[in-house]
Structure 1
Amino acid sequence: MRRERGIRESLGSIVLGFELIVLFLGTLVAWGLHSAPAAIVIGGGAFLIVLAIIAMLTLRYRYGTWIGFAVQVLAIVAGIWVHMMFIVGALFLAIWIYAMYSADKVERLKASRAQNDPQLNETENPQ
């Protein structure tokens, strides 16, 4: 039986999944523009991609969210080499903050409804 994923984990995975594509393409752009030595560009891009994957895999825990925030901040910092990353990174940071805030709000609402409606608990967990 599969574990049920929370809303935070689902939304975070979606945001990070799209960001993986952007990070890969940003790495290729930085490499093509010769913004820095190739080893630094490829190594930095690979580091960000691996960090995003780690964040996706650990989103069920609170520290996974913080790793996701680190990915967002580092994506903005990548704007030093590819200036459009300032804008793209800021957009992804805004999306990340909104997704995490919305997920927390929905989780609190679900918990409140489950606590206030005992019949809801019986239909979700039949015995």
Structure 2
Amino acid sequence: MSPREPRPRRARGAQESLGAVVLGFESIVVFLGGLVVYGLNALPAGIAPWWGIVGGVVLAVAMVAVSGLLRHRWAIIVGWVLQVILALGGILVPALAVVALIFGGMWAYATIKGAALDRQNARRAADPDLSNGE
């Protein structure tokens, strides 16, 4: 028997690659933010503090899941929704608003500039005679 040839990897664009990196690192920070919400007992009265951990874990897992699906247009939109949810966490712990601002800026750069790079690379691939990508 001949050895199986590996399947070629799917080409990933800049938007997908940059977005996956941002969401991957952000998921770690969001999980730790959930621990902060729990440790500070920042949830309103009547809600058990351990829900802070649950919220952090759910948001972190959602970010990891979306980072693997960024080849779809809807996943980019879900990524924006996750950024808004994190920003709303700033109501409970103001430091989360700072985290949301930093990672939201990185997400905006990854999605907007990544899409521009992908368009530029597609133009270059379609017409290799272009000099300097113009």
- Shorter-chain TM-score category? 0.7 to 0.9
Q: Is the 8 A contact 1:27 1:42 kept in 2?
A: yes
Q: Are the equivalent residues in 2 in contact too, given 1:20–1:52 (CA < 8 A)? A: yes
Alpha-carbon deviation of 1:43? Answer: 2.2
Could you tell me which amino acid in structure 1 is paired with residue 39 of structure 2?
A: G
Q: How does 1:12-51 map to 2 (within 5 A)?
A: 12-36=19-43, 37-51=48-62
Report the CA distance between 1:92 and its aligned residue. Answer: 1.0
The answer to whether the aligner puts 1:82 opposite 2:93 as a matched pair is: yes
Match of 1:7 in 2: 14
Q: Return structure 1 stretches of 4+ with deviation > 3 angstroms.
A: none
- Could you tell me how far apart the structure 2 residues matched to 1:76 and 1:41 are? 15
Task: Report whether the alignment pairs 1:110 with 2:121.
Answer: yes
More helix by share: 1
CA-atom RMSD, angstroms?
A: 1.6
Identity between Structure 1 and Structure 2 (%): 38
- Is 1:51–1:67's contact at 8 Å kept on the other side of the alignment? no
Taking structure 1 as the reference length, the TM-score comes to 0.86
Structure 2: stretches of 5+ with no match in the other structure: 1-7, 130-134
Q: How many residues align?
A: 119
Q: Report the AA paired with residue 60 of structure 1.
A: R
> Which AA in structure 1 matches 2:102?
L
Paired letter, 2:17: S
- Which one scores higher on RCO, CA 8 angstroms, separation ≥ 6? 2
Alignment of 1:62 with 2:69, yes or no, is: no
Q: Does 2:107 correspond to 1:96?
A: yes
| TM-score (norm. length: structure 2) | 0.82
State the structure with more CA Rg: 2
